[in-house]
Amino acid sequence: MQRIDSSDNKKIKRLTSLKQKKVRLKENLFLMEGLKSVDEAISENALIDMILVSDHFMETNPEYCSRLEKTEYPLYITRDYNLEKCSNLKTPQGILAAVTIPDYTLVSILEQEKPIVILDGISDPGNLGTVIRAADAFGFGGVILLPGCTDPFSPKTVQSTMGSIIRVKCIDIDTGELDELDKNDYYIYGMDLSGTDMDDEKFSASKTAVIIGSESHGLSRDVIVKCSKLLKISMPGNAESLNASVAAGIVMHKMAVEIRGF
Amino acid sequence: MQRIDSSDNKKIKRLTSLKQKKVRLKENLFLMEGLKSVDEAISENALIDMILVSDHFMETNPEYCSRLEKTEYPLYITRDYNLEKCSNLKTPQGILAAVTIPDYTLVSILEQEKPIVILDGISDPGNLGTVIRAADAFGFGGVILLPGCTDPFSPKTVQSTMGSIIRVKCIDIDTGELDELDKNDYYIYGMDLSGTDMDDEKFSASKTAVIIGSESHGLSRDVIVKCSKLLKISMPGNAESLNASVAAGIVMHKMAVEIRGF
């Protein structure tokens, strides 16, 4: 474990600059914060660039820190306020890791032959993170982001995935690339208020994809034409729509129950 | 329409102070912001104490403002920066209303004989608002809050209900009051990882209640003993849990589909 004292240290500055998307893209790194998240990154064999702990964390978690020292990961300790500078949390947890942004291809996701969820114009980081977490819970093959979605590796999104970002295959594609799904025999559902009642649909093939649009704009026109069938969640009450992550969760749950064993 | 110019005006100060829970409780008022929300408050005949619009809103929505003038509601216009002072939004929408906090009783909620959702320790305003919105979408009888839940009339919660706060009956109760549900022949399910698989359960009675706990702590011990049956959402994947509002949405959707016609 190496000590970093100066807040002008290059590593501290680099970690701090990962708050910016352009730096994350350039460095190909994102931050995971908190003991649980760092622990998941380790157990999932994520490509960890470095781990930083604060003096306070070291004092309060000596056993965990000595376990960390036995790993192969570059480990640094710093003053509390330096870690706080790097942190994106209101209450920094004293430990964070810079992790390599995984480089999946659409083909590698489709080859798994598992259900996938596709998001169109989901701009809220909390909603995106929540969908990634649900995709992990239900064992989906991946989360595919069409244009207009927020960055899955932003601090807010990563935080709301509760560690799932490390397990769920998540990529950006252009709308045109949806044709790859068709070529790979995926059946594409789109969730849209003009669709038929989802309750009357029985999901069966594991090569099933569902596209969820934003709450305010729904599915884009150029996305709708790529869908084989449009479905809606019937709402007997008064609200016109559900939160996008709740709608996604409901569809994904039904897919998980009906398709099973993928 | 009366004009308010001074930022020292009592009404401006009062609206601004509604950001604080203690003031909301004392005044028995909360804020709804944006044209859509204010419009819903009007169409649902909510008890509106006053409506405030900004000069800019008046300029850009002259027809809507003249319609507002024909209503019975006290209507005020002020400089943009005064409205911004009262607002809780990052991008204030130029219109807001102070609305009376409705005073429902547990009995009035149970008498409707509709499914209800009960929340235990849900401290995130976005999650609470999202559940209230889903309860509205699925036509539930109400959302009941056990101790440890955040304030349903806080700005963040109200905003994430997307107007549903005005329609959904929402009250706080003590855990002991859950006995009222039993007396009124409600069947109480608790969502807990120790429960049986929800997929194997068929909801049938409209007098059904489901309790959702917090993601970190689950259901409290004193709440678990009030449940007739514990259920879990089976998660074949890797994440240990779902976001609380997603879990609630999945259960409520299943209840809406299976119970129907309530």
This model of the complex carries an ipTM of 0.93
Taking contacts as CB-CB distances below 8 angstroms, the residues of chain A near B233 are 253
For chain A, percent of residues with pLDDT exceeding 90: 95
Q: Which residue of chain A has the CA closest to B249?
A: A246
At B95, give phi and psi (nearest 5°): -145, 135
Mutate to test the interface with B, among A198, A250, A262 (most CBs of B within 10 A): A250
**Residue burial B3-34, b: 16+ Cβ < 10 Å; e: rest:** ebeeeeeebbebbbebeeeeebeebebbbbbb
Contact A242 B134 (CB under 8 A): yes
Band of the pLDDT at A217, cuts 50, 70, 90?
Answer: confident
Q: Are A171 and A142 in contact (CB under 8 A)?
A: yes
B249 CB near a chain A CB, below 8 Å? Answer: yes
Instruction: Determine the number of helices (DSSP H) and then strands (DSSP E) in chain A.
Output: 12, 11
Cβ atoms < 10 Å from Cβ of B63: 7
- Mean of the pLDDT values across residues A31-43? 94
B79 CB near a chain A CB, below 8 Å? Answer: no
B167 CB near a chain A CB, below 8 Å? Answer: yes
- Mean of the pLDDT values across residues B228-234? 97
Band of the pLDDT at A240, cuts 50, 70, 90?
Answer: confident
Taking contacts as CB-CB distances below 8 angstroms, the residues of chain A near B133 are 239, 242-243, 246
Q: Residue A107: CB partners within 8 Å, gap ≥ 6?
A: A180, A184
DSSP H helices, chain B, are 10-17, 21-27, 35-43, 55-60, 62-69, 80-86, 106-110, 125-137, 155-161, 179-183, 221-224, 244-259
Q: Tell me: the pLDDT tens digits for B15-62? A: 999 999 999 999 999 999 999 999 999 999 999 999 999 999 999 999
Look at residue B259 and tell me whether its pLDDT is greater than 90: yes
Look at residue A260 and tell me whether its pLDDT is greater than 90: no
Q: Tell me: the pLDDT tens digits for B83-136? A: 999 999 989 999 999 999 999 999 999 999 999 999 999 999 999 999 999 999
Q: Residue A257: CB partners within 8 Å, gap ≥ 6?
A: B199
Q: Tell me: the pLDDT tens digits for B142-170? A: 999 999 999 999 999 999 999 999 999 99
Distance from C-alpha of A109 to C-alpha of B98, rounded to nearest angstrom: 50
Q: What DSSP string runs through B7-44?
A: TT-HHHHHHHHTTSHHHHHHHTEEEEESHHHHHHHHHT
Residues 123-162 in A contacting B (C-alpha not used; CB under 8 Å): 126, 130, 133-140, 160, 162
- Inter-CA distances, A235 with A158, A176, A244, A251, Å: 31, 32, 14, 14
Between A6-10, A182-186, B77-81, B247-251, the lowest mean confidence (pLDDT) is in A6-10
Residue B197's pLDDT is 96
Query: Which of B162, B164, B236 has the CB atom closest to A139's CB atom?
Result: B236
B241 CB near a chain A CB, below 8 Å? Answer: yes
Distance from C-alpha of B187 to C-alpha of B174, rounded to nearest angstrom: 18
Q: Which residue of chain B has the CA closest to A138?
A: B237
Look at residue B261 and tell me whether its pLDDT is greater than 90: no
For chain B, percent of residues with pLDDT exceeding 70: 100
Mean of per-residue pLDDT scores for chain B: 96
- Strand arrangement of the beta sheet that strand B187-197 belongs to: B170-172, B142-145, B116-120, B208-213, B187-197, B229-232
Taken as a whole, chain A contains a residue count of 262
Distance from C-alpha of A130 to C-alpha of A164, rounded to nearest angstrom: 9
Closest CA relative to residue B168, chosen from B100, B116, B111: B116
Q: Tell me: the pLDDT tens digits for B207-219? A: 999 999 998 889 9
